Amino acid sequence: MNISLIKYNISYYAKTLKFIAPVLVFTTVHLYLYSRIPVPIWSNFYLTAIIVFIFTNWIGTSFINSEDRTQQYITRLHINNETIYHISKIVSILVLMTPFYILLIFYPIVFGFFVRSLLFIEILAMLIIHFMFSLMGTAVSIFFNVDFHNQKTVLPLQALVILVIAVPFAVTFEDNVFVQYITYLLPPINFLGQRLHDLDNGIFILDNNFLIFILYSLGYSLALIVIYILLIRNKNKH
Q: What is the pLDDT of residue 80?
A: 81
Residues 6+ apart with CB under 8 A from 202: 42
Task: For residue 39, give the 3-state DSSP assignment.
Answer: strand
| H helices present in the chain, as ranges | 3-16, 20-33, 41-64, 69-79, 82-110, 120-141, 151-166, 169-172, 177-183, 193-199, 208-237
- Closest by CA position to 59, among listed 20, 3, 28, 12: 20
Q: What is the pLDDT of residue 197?
A: 79
Enumerate residue ranges in the chain where pLDDT < 70: 1, 169-177, 179-180, 238
Structure confidence by residue, pLDDT tens digits, 68-103:
777 877 888 788 888 898 999 999 999 999 999 999
How does DSSP classify residue 114?
B
Residue 119 to residue 206: CA distance in whole angstroms: 12
Q: Please, which residues bridge with residue 114 across strands?
A: 39
Q: What is the pLDDT of residue 171?
A: 57
